[in-house]
Amino acid sequence: MPEIPANRAIFKIAGLLALAGMLTGCAALPNDAPIESVNYRACLVTDGDALRPGLADSSVFSLNQAVVTFGIKKKIIEGNPSKFEKVIQDFVKSKCNFIAVVGSRFTEFVQPVVEANPATHFLFITDGSDRDLLAANLENLAVYRVDVYEAGLLAGHLAASASATHQLVVGCRGAVNAEYLDGIRAGAKAFDAEAKTSTSVNSSSSLLENPDVLLVYGCRDEIPSDPENLKQFKLVGYGRDLFFDPALEIAKPNVLATIIPQSGPRFFEAIAADLESEFIGGTLGSTVASYGNGGLVISDQHLVALPTGELEKLKSLAEEYEMTFK
* pLDDT per position as a tens digit, 168-214: 998 876 677 889 999 999 999 999 999 999 999 987 766 678 999 99
Answer with the residue of higher pLDDT: 15 or 174. Answer: 174
CA angle 15, 21, 24 (to 5 degrees): 145
Strands 255-261 and 296-298: antiparallel
8 A C-beta contact, residue 247 and residue 14: no
CATH of domain 149-260+297-323: 3.40.50.2300
3-state secondary structure of 196: coil
Report whether pLDDT(18) > 70: no
Q: Rounded distance, CA 107 to CA 130, Å?
A: 8
* Mean per-residue pLDDT, 56-71: 93
Residues of the chain with pLDDT > 70, as a percent, come to 84
Burial class of 224 by CB neighbour count within 10 A (0 to 12, 13 to 18, 19+): middle
Report whether pLDDT(296) > 60: yes
pLDDT, position 239: 87
* Mean per-residue pLDDT, 14-20: 46
* Mean per-residue pLDDT, 24-47: 73
Report whether pLDDT(14) > 50: no
CATH architecture of 8-147+262-295: 3-Layer(aba) Sandwich (3.40)
Phi and psi for 164 in degrees, rounded to 5?
-85, -25
pLDDT, position 283: 96
Contacts with 35 (C-beta within 8 Å, 6 or more apart), sequence order: 11, 68, 69, 70, 71
Residue 313 to residues 15, 34, 316, 317, Cα–Cα distance (Å): 33, 45, 5, 6
3-state secondary structure of 171: coil
DSSP string over 79-139: E-GGGHHHHHHHHHHTT-SEEEEE-GGGHHHHHHHHHH-TTSEEEEEESS--HHHHHHT-T
Residues of the chain with CATH 3.40.50.2300: 8-147+262-295, 149-260+297-323
Per residue in 257-275, pLDDT (tens digit) is 999 999 999 999 999 999 9
pLDDT, position 20: 46
Report whether pLDDT(95) > 90: yes
Q: Rounded distance, CA 120 to CA 42, Å?
A: 10
State the chain's mean pLDDT as an integer: 87
Report whether pLDDT(228) > 80: no
**Chain centroid to CA 32: how far?**
28
Burial class of 5 by CB neighbour count within 10 A (0 to 12, 13 to 18, 19+): middle
Using pLDDT thresholds of 50, 70 and 90, give the confidence band for residue 220. Answer: low
Asked which of 2-6, 45-49, 79-83, 84-88 is least confident by mean pLDDT, the reply is 2-6
pLDDT, position 203: 77
Contacts with 221 (C-beta within 8 Å, 6 or more apart), sequence order: none
Report whether pLDDT(15) > 70: no
Using pLDDT thresholds of 50, 70 and 90, give the confidence band for residue 221. Answer: low
8 A C-beta contact, residue 121 and residue 281: yes
pTM of the entire predicted model: 0.86
DSSP H or E segment with residue 19: helix 8-24
